[in-house]
Structure 1
Amino acid sequence: MSTRVPDGVGATAIGVAAVRAHESTRPDRLFDDPYASRFLAATGWTPPTRADGRTRLAGVVLTIPIRTRFLDEALTDAADAGCRQVVLLGAGLDTRAFRMDWPPGLKLFEVDLPDMVAFKESVLADDTPACARSVVVADLTEDWTTPLLAAGFDRTAPTVWVAEGLLVYLTSEQNEALIAEVSALSAPGSHLALTVLNQSRLGEIKERLLDNAIVDLWQSGTPDDPIAWLASHGWQATVHDPVERAAAYGRPYLFDHLPHGPGRGFVTATRHEGRPH
């Protein structure tokens, strides 16, 4: 298998792994991801200098440990509530299947593109996950539900879905289709956890960070009212402020010197009724 991280959106995953590797070395770390540094070693990746334009993404970089910890907790809460299926959409270099404690019988599915899957599997080939793990090679902008079902996904079982740092890389139409497909596969009792950035906030960041290789890949923001958006698909949602979560995790001043306002956050949602018709 290849040890080369794909270009484009796939390349952003190694940057996320770098942030997680650094966080894992802190004495006050919010999580421990011992695999993140191995992904870096496999690519020979080196951190950018301060002169590098990527460092202008400080707000995004600082959010990654907060969102990682938040989603770890959301997954644990969903598992405690009875979800025994996890689906990581656009999983990238996520290692939750290996580094988290899971209840017996839980199945975890990782959905991503072929090149990303090949790289990740080459690095983790000798490791054993802490749950039943299935890798689903699929493009989320095409038919991904058929290969997910073929991999053993049970549409009658409550599921927790995670889309971390994903939606900005899809168009509005693709995001709408993705949430509709997730909703159609979600039994009552299912959970959903997303990171969101609305169109206005996305536009501000793109204007401030012109010609940034990462930001240039962003295609769309989520609706201004994610609660109403998800309600239209049958979900009861709550929006969580990253600033408040950072304070709760012992980092109350994390974003004080950075542009940060409404329009960015984390969303959790639950589904109590049946699938939409």
Structure 2
Amino acid sequence: MTTAEPLSPVSRTALSVALVRAYESSRPDPLFVDPYAAAFAAAAGVPLPSAGPDSGLAMALVAQGILRTRFYDDRLLAAGADQVVLLAAGLDTRAHRLDWPAGTRVFELDLGPVLAFKEQVLDGLGAEPRSRRTVLPADLLEPHWPDRLVEAGFDPARPSAWLAEGLLVYLGPEEAAALLTAVAALAAPGSRLLLEQGRDVSATPHDPALAHVTGLWRGGLGPGTGEWLDRHGWTTDRVLLDALAQRYGRTLPGPSTAGFLEAVRHPRG
């Protein structure tokens, strides 16, 4: 990747996600099509995958990445909010590829270098967003990003939809709690939050080929993420990965306890 500043190791994982989306988009029966994912790989000088993964952990992570992309696509569009916030947006192109209702505003927050790389590629393609898109360089571990979001036009008095895709696992417990507390302070009643249910990273099988990703995992709030949200002003539904695979007509490479959370913000009071 060529940017004015080097990307952090965590930011570089956005390229791995883009490769998964490029692979799925090339299938004859894709669950979604990301027309920009392959361009990110090409711009970074990374070859596109010619076949699916061949190790157990890689197969599981790719299957989860594909299913979660489609699930989050569906649930963001169903949320009915005209303000959508993509936390640690990375190389996410939902602002460009989803059929948003007229007037929807999509805010993309991430570190400056990864957003600069994304803009370089999208501008080179002449990509036009299908939403009112605001790109906001921000460090989500710093305390002032909520103020910057509001200054950029986000209205905390109106319902919103939030996505923290693949984010919390890279944070420690205190960092994850602080981030979700900040989101709660901005989320009006009826707002929705989408994220993974959390995993016990100590139980992750070792795969040297994936150490550049799994070695960065810190666990976030772990398997208790949903319970934490329920204690802090949200009502949380859980969807297991195997149920999603059945819904979307896919077969998982093996048994899975992974899943996703959709939380709705309670009225304040």
Structure 1 length normalisation: TM-score?
Answer: 0.88
- AA aligned opposite 2:101: P
Structure 1 gaps, min length 5: none
TM-score (norm 2): 0.90
Corresponding residue number in structure 1 for 2:116: 118
Matched, 1:68 2:66: no
**Structure 1 segments of 4 or more deviating over 6 A?**
52-55
Could you tell me which amino acid in structure 1 is paired with residue 262 of structure 2?
Answer: T
One-letter code of the match for 1:271? R
Q: Which residue of 1 aligns with 2:239?
A: 240
Q: Which residue of 1 aligns with 2:260?
A: 266
Structure 2 vs 1, CA of residues 44 and 21 (structure 1 numbering), >3 Å: closer, same or farther? same
Distance 2:223 2:169 in 1: 14
- Specify the alignment match of 2:83 in structure 1: 85
2:241–2:256 CA contact under 8 A, matched in 1: no
Structure 1 residue 46 displacement after superposition: 2.0
Q: Which amino acid aligns with 2:86?
A: L
Kept in 1: contact 2:111–2:138 (CA 8 A): yes
1:42 corresponding residue in structure 2: 43
Residues 111 and 137 in structure 2, CA contact (< 8 A), matched pair in contact too: yes
User: For residues 57 and 266 of structure 2, what CA distance do their matches in structure 1 show?
Assistant: 42
The equivalent of 1:147 in structure 2 is: 148
Higher alpha-carbon deviation: 181-190 or 265-274: 265-274
State the Cα distance separating 1:128 from its structure 2 match: 1.3
Q: Aligned letter for 1:95?
A: T
> Which residue is 1:6 aligned to?
7
- Residues 1:130 and 2:124 are matched in the alignment: no
**2-structure distance, mates of 1:247, 1:88:** 27
User: How many Å apart are 1:49 and its aligned residue?
Assistant: 9.8
Unaligned runs of 5+ residues in structure 2 are: none
Per-residue deviation, 1:2: 4.1
Residues 47/177 of structure 1: CA separation in 2 closer, same or farther (3 Å cut): same
RMSD: 2.4
**1:195, 1:265 within 8 Å by CA — same for their partners in 2?**
yes
Q: Could you tell me which residue of structure 2 aligns to residue 219 of structure 1? A: 218
Displacement of 1:225 in angstroms is 3.3
Q: Secondary structure at the match of 1:124?
A: helix
Q: In the alignment, what sits opposite 1:162?
A: 163
Q: CA deviation at 1:15?
A: 1.1
| 1:158 and 1:189 in contact (8 A); partners too | yes
Aligned to 2:199: 198
The 3-state SS of whatever aligns with 2:117 is helix
One-letter code of the match for 2:109? V
Say if 2:117 is the partner of 1:95. Answer: no
**Is the 1:90–1:112 contact (alpha carbons within 8 Å) kept by the matching residues of 2?**
yes
In the alignment, the residues of structure 2 paired with residue 57 and residue 234 of structure 1 have an alpha-carbon distance, to the nearest angstrom, of 35
- 1:3 is displaced (CA, Å) by 4.9
Within the alignment, does 1:185 sit opposite 2:172 as a pair? no
Number of the residue aligned with 1:171: 172
- After TM superposition, give the deviation of residue 271 of structure 1 in Å: 1.5
1:2, 1:122 within 8 Å by CA — same for their partners in 2? no
Task: Give the secondary-structure state (helix, strand or coil) at the position aligned to 1:214.
Answer: helix
Count of residue pairs the alignment pairs up: 263
